[in-house]
Amino acid sequence: MRPYDHYLEFIEEITEEIDTKIETLGPCKIENPMKLPEISFVSDEHRVSLRINLDYLKTTISEKKEPPSLELAGPRKYIYFDPAKVKAGIVTCGGLCPGINDVIRSIVMTLYYSYGVDKIIGFKYGLQGFIPKYRHPVVELSPEVVKDIHSMGGTFLGTSRGHQPIEEIVDTLERMNIQILFMIGGDGTFRAAHKIKEEISRRGLKIAVVAVPKTIDNDIWLVSKTFGFDTAVELACKAIRCAHTEAIAVPNGVGLVKLMGRHSGFIAAAATLATKEVNFCLIPEIDFDLEGEGGLFSELEKRLEKRGHAVIVVAEGAGQKYVQKDPPEYDASGNIKLGDIGRFLKEKIAEYFEKKGIPVVIRYIDPSYMIRSVPANVSDRIYCGFLGQYAVHAAMAGKTGLMISSLHNQFVHVPLKEAVKKRKQVNLHSRFWLSVLESTGQGRLKAS
């Protein structure tokens, strides 16, 4: 673990009972073809304990229950699927994120070289790829096809948003004789994955569904950190430094940077900590006023009087009470369309200081799509490789209805039904967020 990783764990203590049991398709009777030392294989008895709230710990002790723990990920000595006969499918869903291609590549390479699986299909453009009416072709995947895709941003397979009929998706899996489906996506994808797994079970089919968590916002519950996050923070820092350079170059310069984070402000907060040049960090988890004593505008005015420049970082989901449409609008995936808090703040800051007769120069930067579409950095690339490998190990062992998670510096199996129960957000009482407040000096902005 790197020295600062304990600040980036992000996972609050468990306060209630959760179901950590992983479903399997059947007993594993086939010897794993990987030539590994005995000590390299793991069993279902290997567990990783969860951090739990003290009151909940006392409850488990008094009721003589085992504290919750998750199944350790890794290769099993015996597997469920016969590698010579199994056929696997891969699909990527939702928005772009650095590292998707690295995960695809890792899955294909591990299937092919570690297990000898040579029938691997890629479904194009997300869940649309399963639906006949869209007529999207499938892609036959092999090491030769994917060997260089990690150097590209985006997703080699394409993606899409929106719901598709679960029955038709399973029809396609059955028709194409797919026994393993790898789904790379966020919480919306996981909800679909859980429904697909349930329909598969209802039909009595032997198809494993294994998910790899993908969200640049880092907001998936029971995952310490999602892939692409490190890359996003790194590029966000570059945007912040540009905003700072612009701000200090003129009298009363204000650098305003809008970063990704619909419901969770991890990117904005981590980039703020990394650059040390941000004076106000606004995230969805905190409310703030614009006007009045202790509001953003008066605090910004004090900052300009004192230092002559300022940098503001705002997550896209912050301050939505000022910009949200009424009634709200929704995108194809059912998510509420956010109002543009960045442009709103730019206009309102300009209006405030114009009324005061104080000249300011505002430089607004929105690097969102640039960040989403770049290749992964070294840290994320290594991480994605592990995720793909562990996903394959789980699938070949016949495990289903799970996501691969990195939690407390271990790779584990998490049931999909638990992963989608809540959204991970910045803990405003954590050392992580308190460090942001110390770094910016913004204090706690007034909120009505």
Q: What's the pTM value of the predicted model, to 2 decimals?
A: 0.93
Residue 32, SS3 per DSSP: coil
Domains and CATH numbers, the chain: 5-224+375-419 (3.40.50.450), 229-373+429-440 (3.40.50.460)
Structure tokens at 427: 């803990």
d(CA 140, CA 200): 23
> pLDDT for 295-312, tens place per residue?
999 999 999 999 999 999
- Residue type at 20? T
* Mean pLDDT of the chain, nearest integer: 92
d(CA 202, CA 61): 37
> pLDDT for 101-115, tens place per residue?
999 999 999 999 999
- Residue type at 141? L
Structure tokens at 376: 């992964």
d(CA 226, CA 264): 13
> pLDDT for 117-159, tens place per residue?
999 999 999 999 999 999 999 999 999 999 999 999 999 999 9
- pLDDT of the residue at 408: 81
> pLDDT for 398-411, tens place per residue?
999 999 999 888 99
> pLDDT for 405-446, tens place per residue?
998 889 999 999 999 998 999 999 889 999 999 999 998 787
Q: Find, among 225, 188, 197, the residue nearest to 95 by Cα.
A: 188
Burial of 359 (0-12, 13-18, 19+ CB in 10 A): exposed
Q: Which residues are catalytic?
A: 217
The DSSP element (H or E) to which 88 belongs, if any, is strand 88-92
